[in-house]
């Protein structure tokens, strides 16, 4: 009788032995789920932060521009607290305009003190040259995250619907190019137009016109000032990067422009990576 009881007791113990590893497994799985849940919350917060930063960057989005036809006035960056500019507060760019930083200290933090001072020195030289040539009303300069931007009104350099640089304006462009040829950074030439459809032109669209204008400025720099073709970039944006309201004559005049950009070191490094 005692043998039967002992055997039954042993069988009962053997039957319940699985509960211990099972409970350990459940505890381990619970811990895993807790960790996964915590990680997912962290990632969600990070994703939200990245999304907000990206949205902010897009709202301040770099440049905007356009250029066909004639007109006067200069495109410009934002006023006092934005990028360093020689334009007046009335020329401030609306949301979606050039890439802006809230304060000059943030700009210095992004570019670095040495690079910012170098760009400021070059900016002063170009401002003096533009002033001496009487081009204060048709050209402006500014410094933003991209680097030093020289903004030229298309009406001074091109006839309406044409990509041929006016002879009387070539000298000014060459003098500016001479100053720019002292820097090693890539130089980006951007053509921009307003949103008025092309008429009476050999170019079927503003996009092609803006590209041809940028290319002709690049050719002038290479042919007349012996620029290295490796450091020049020609880009045409047509009507798709406005800096002002296209519903007004004044806004359209500002959008018709050529932007010459001496790229900052960070944008310059990105360009070097792209061409490798």
At residue 24, the pLDDT reads: 75
Average pLDDT, the chain: 77
In the chain, the percentage of residues whose pLDDT exceeds 70 is: 68
At residue 15, the pLDDT reads: 60
Q: What does the alpha-carbon distance between residue 257 and residue 68 come to, in Å, rounded to a whole number? A: 8
From 188, 220, 191, 190, select the one nearest 206 (Cα to Cα).
Answer: 191
At residue 5, the pLDDT reads: 55
What does the longest C-alpha to C-alpha distance in the chain come to? Answer: 122
Q: What does the alpha-carbon distance between residue 140 and residue 61 come to, in Å, rounded to a whole number? A: 19
Domain ranges of the chain: 2-57, 61-275
Which pLDDT tens digit goes with each residue over 151-180?
999 999 999 999 999 998 898 889 889 889
pTM of the model: 0.65
Kindly report which listed range (47-61, 132-146, 157-171, 179-193) carries the lowest average pLDDT score.
47-61
CB burial of residue 275 (10 Å; 0-12, 13-18, 19+): exposed
Which pLDDT tens digit goes with each residue over 9-49?
555 555 666 666 777 777 877 777 776 776 665 555 555 55
The partner residues of 165 in beta bridges, in order of sequence, read 158
Say yes or no to pLDDT of 226 above 60. yes
The full DSSP string for 200-231 is: SSSSSSHHHHHHHHHHHHHHHHHHHH---GGG
Query: How would residue 129 be classed by pLDDT, with cut points 50, 70 and 90?
Result: confident
Assign domain 61-275 to its CATH architecture. Answer: 2-Layer Sandwich (3.30)
């Amino acid at each position: 009788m005692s043998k039967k009881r002992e055997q039954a007791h042993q069988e009962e113990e053997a039957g319940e032995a699985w509960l211990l590893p099972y409970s350990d497994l459940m505890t381990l799985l619970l811990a895993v789920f807790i960790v996964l849940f915590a990680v997912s919350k962290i990632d969600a917060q990070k994703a939200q932060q990245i999304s907000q930063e990206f949205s902010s960057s897009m709202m301040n989005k770099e440049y905007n521009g356009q250029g066909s036809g004639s007109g006067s006035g200069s495109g410009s960056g934002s006023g006092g607290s934005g990028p360093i500019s020689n334009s007046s507060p009335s020329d401030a760019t609306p949301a979606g305009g050039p890439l802006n930083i809230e304060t000059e200290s943030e700009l210095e933090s992004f570019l670095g003190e040495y690079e910012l001072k170098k760009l400021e020195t070059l900016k002063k030289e170009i401002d003096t040259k533009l002033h001496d040539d009487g081009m204060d009303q048709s050209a402006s300069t500014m410094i933003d995250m991209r680097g030093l931007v020289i903004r030229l009104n298309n009406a001074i350099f091109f006839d309406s619907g044409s990509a041929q640089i006016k002879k009387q304006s070539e000298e000014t462009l060459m003098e500016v190019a001479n100053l720019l040829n002292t820097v090693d950074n890539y130089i980006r030439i951007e053509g921009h137009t307003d949103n008025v459809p092309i008429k009476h032109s050999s170019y079927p669209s503003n996009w092609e016109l803006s590209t041809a204008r940028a290319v002709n400025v690049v050719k002038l720099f290479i042919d007349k000032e012996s620029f290295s073709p490796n450091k020049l970039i020609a880009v045409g944006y047509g009507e798709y990067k406005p800096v002002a309201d296209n519903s007004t004559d004044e806004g359209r005049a500002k959008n018709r422009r050529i932007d010459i950009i001496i790229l900052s070191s960070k944008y310059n490094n990105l360009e070097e990576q792209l061409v490798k």
